[in-house]
Chain A
Amino acid sequence: MTLAISDLKVSLGGKEVLRGVDLELRAGRVHGLAGESGSGKTMTGLAVLGLLPHGARVSGRITLGERDLLAMTPRQLNAVRGGEVAMVFQDPATSLHPMLTIGRQLTEHMRHHLRLDRRQAQARAADLLRQVRIPGAEEALGRYPHQFSGGMRQRIAIAVALACSPKVLIADEPTTALDVTVQAGILRLLRGLCDDLDLAVLLVTHDLGVMSAVADEVSVMRDGVVVETGPRAQVLRDPAHPYTRALLDSLPGETS
């Protein structure tokens, strides 16, 4: 399924933070969204899920298949969230509920969206943990987030996102809060899941290194608009926009 964002505008408190964003995510492809902080990358991701801060004004179209997410009622949107479109957040130390077991966090939305009973949900939760390579999956279900390392937690957060077999996964800086040594593992996992499950992935990151490792397409944002979009090799090796070039030049130890 395709998720297409066209002419997405968001204003917050009178200030326009997105000024007409166009993006297209396709199944089985990782779409990297780069740009400096404040350029509107995260806002774009949140807008897809309808999770913008209170009082935000939105216009444009976000279509999932044939349906416009922006035209949906809160109830309809809630059925899409966590179901067809899922999200992984930056810091797994805070994005997982600290007081609920991993099992609960993996199963609560499954039971809600997929109407599974407890036993079915538990079995699927254990499968998901194996899929993201958490050792001792059955036993891990009864444990709490603080009993896992950062990399493990992000794997768990990814498993939570995958629980209801989404078609689109929005990953907002999923490796930024992690040690460099575990970043590669998480990126490989995301790439593998994208290929195996035919997911359309939006990978939001300010790290062009991360981007070059996994993205198929790359879009570069600045000041609330996408300034350049294209296949990874083209955008990263032969940038057309001066801002992309400036971003690339700012990478340490790399000269183009």
Chain B
Amino acid sequence: MSIKRPPATGDDPKAARREPGRRGARSPLARFLVRRVLTALLLAVGITLVTFVLTNLVPGDPVAANLGQRALGDPAIVAQWRTEHGLDKPLPEQYLLHLRGVVQGDLGTSQQSHRPVMDDLADSVPATLELAGAAILVSIVVGVAFGVVAALRRDRLSDHVLRVLSLFGISVPTFWLALTAFYVLFYRLQIAPGSGRIDPGLTPPPHVTGLYTLDAALAGQWDVFSSAVGHLATPALVLALYTIGLLTRFTRSAVLEVLGQDHVRAGRAKGLPPRVILFRYVLRPALVPVITVAGLAFGSLLSGTVLVEAIFAWPGVGQYAYKSATTLDLPAVMGVGLVVGGVYLVINLIVDVLYGVIDPRVRLS
């Protein structure tokens, strides 16, 4: 907690930024950011510990899952396999070795693919990020817009229609929706492309970010781009429907709450144009709770990808996690855990920073 300074030297962020040399004179936003990043780093270490412990608590022997019947009968082969994968050392030592590896960017070797887990993740993580990112983007844009419309047209037809739609989105199970969408849009109506990330006849765009849409656009390969967008659309919308419903409901209630606040009436009394009232006076304060929910929703979206990826044959982390978990491929499982935990951390960090950007009371206190 910062000590309240006399007003003359100023809590004014601009004044502080002008004098970078003074001790402790960093801007409140910068101090706020540093604090959040440090907390995030501590949490990251916690995540490695939790993924490691949980993975090793799993009842099941990776040896049995990975070696064939005959090999299992030979104690020498089993012992050799355990040594190879570091399973003969005591757990704390295994953890420290694991931690050292993580810091060096080495997550071990997958027992299934016999490739470094890092390489496997480098292939699958961008696919999932593209899917989940598209879904959350659509959710935020559509959900917030729907929520605002529902609040401004409270108790009228559009509000009722949006209520039914959002309840549908929230209550329909993702896997059912995914199957139905696939069956109807691809099989019956044939308006959506089939599974995978692009048409089978196309070569993936040159790897820059791993997001096919972005890479294709960067390379100017517009046929690949449109194919990638087409393939992304259905699974992303299926994933987004739940979060759209959620964000519509939350935005509606947040906007209604802000609409009743004094500062909105005061803003109207100033004769500001309705557009300014809506965006600056209503939406900005209403976005604070909406951002929290959007951050949490991204988490549920990530878990939703496992099912959606399976149904749309999307080669992402969800599929990789499923495969590794069923074969007790411990390094791979830990790798996935780390990635998912890391994504949560980043999302939380973004949410925290957005709080600070939107609400000065957060960064100045």
- A contacts, CB < 8 Å to B: 49, 51, 78-83, 86-87, 89, 91, 94-101, 108-109, 112-113, 136, 139, 142-144, 146-147, 157, 160
B contact residues around A89 at 8 Å (CB): 262, 265-266, 269
Contact of A91 among B262, B284, B285 (CB under 8 A): B262
> What are the 9 tightest A-B residue pairs by CB atom distance, in nearest-first order?
A82-B271, A81-B271, A82-B270, A94-B262, A109-B270, A87-B269, A95-B266, A142-B12, A95-B262
Contact of B8 among A136, A143, A146, A147 (CB under 8 A): A136
A contact residues around B201 at 8 Å (CB): none
B contact residues around A146 at 8 Å (CB): 360-361, 364
Interface hub of A89, A99, A109, A143 (most chain B Cβ within 10 A): A99
Sample 23 A-B pairs with CB under 8 A, ordered by A number. A49-B268, A78-B273, A81-B270, A81-B271, A82-B271, A91-B262, A95-B263, A97-B266, A97-B280, A97-B285, A98-B360, A99-B359, A99-B360, A108-B270, A109-B272, A139-B7, A139-B12, A139-B15, A144-B360, A146-B360, A147-B7, A147-B364, A157-B266
Interface assignment of B314: CB less than 8 Å from any CB of chain A: no
Cα–Cα distance between A58 and B12 once the two chains are bound (Å) = 46
Contact A51 B269 (CB under 8 A): yes
Inter-chain CB contacts under 8 Å: number: 91
Interface assignment of B10: CB less than 8 Å from any CB of chain A: yes
Contact B271 A113 (CB under 8 A): yes
Cα–Cα distance between A113 and B270 once the two chains are bound (Å) = 9
Cα–Cα distance between A160 and B281 once the two chains are bound (Å) = 15
Interface residues of B in 8-22 (CB under 8 A from A): 8, 10-15
Contact A94 B261 (CB under 8 A): yes
Given contacts A81-B268, A143-B11, A147-B11, whether A98 and B361 have CB atoms under 8 Å apart is yes
Cα–Cα distance between A112 and B273 once the two chains are bound (Å) = 8
Interface assignment of B41: CB less than 8 Å from any CB of chain A: no
Interface assignment of B267: CB less than 8 Å from any CB of chain A: yes
Interface assignment of B53: CB less than 8 Å from any CB of chain A: no
Q: Nearest-CB distance from A114 to chain B (Å)?
A: 11
Chain A proximity mask over B161-199: 1 for CB below 8 Å, otherwise 0: 000000000000000000000000000000000000000
Contact B269 A96 (CB under 8 A): no
- B contacts, CB < 8 Å to A: 7-8, 10-15, 261-263, 265-273, 276, 280-281, 284-285, 358-361, 364
Cα–Cα distance between A146 and B28 once the two chains are bound (Å) = 15
Contact B272 A82 (CB under 8 A): yes
Contact of B265 among A51, A79, A80, A142 (CB under 8 A): A51
Cα–Cα distance between A109 and B268 once the two chains are bound (Å) = 10
A contact residues around B273 at 8 Å (CB): 78, 112
Contact of A143 among B12, B267, B281 (CB under 8 A): B12
Q: Nearest-CB distance from B351 to chain A (Å)?
A: 17
Given contacts A51-B265, A98-B285, whether A136 and B7 have CB atoms under 8 Å apart is yes
Contact A94 B263 (CB under 8 A): yes
Cα–Cα distance between A78 and B285 once the two chains are bound (Å) = 23
Interface hub of A83, A97, A136 (most chain B Cβ within 10 A): A97
Contact A97 B364 (CB under 8 A): no
B contact residues around A87 at 8 Å (CB): 266, 269
A contact residues around B12 at 8 Å (CB): 139, 142-143
Cα–Cα distance between A97 and B283 once the two chains are bound (Å) = 12
Q: Nearest-CB distance from A80 to chain B (Å)?
A: 7
B contact residues around A80 at 8 Å (CB): 271
A contact residues around B10 at 8 Å (CB): 139
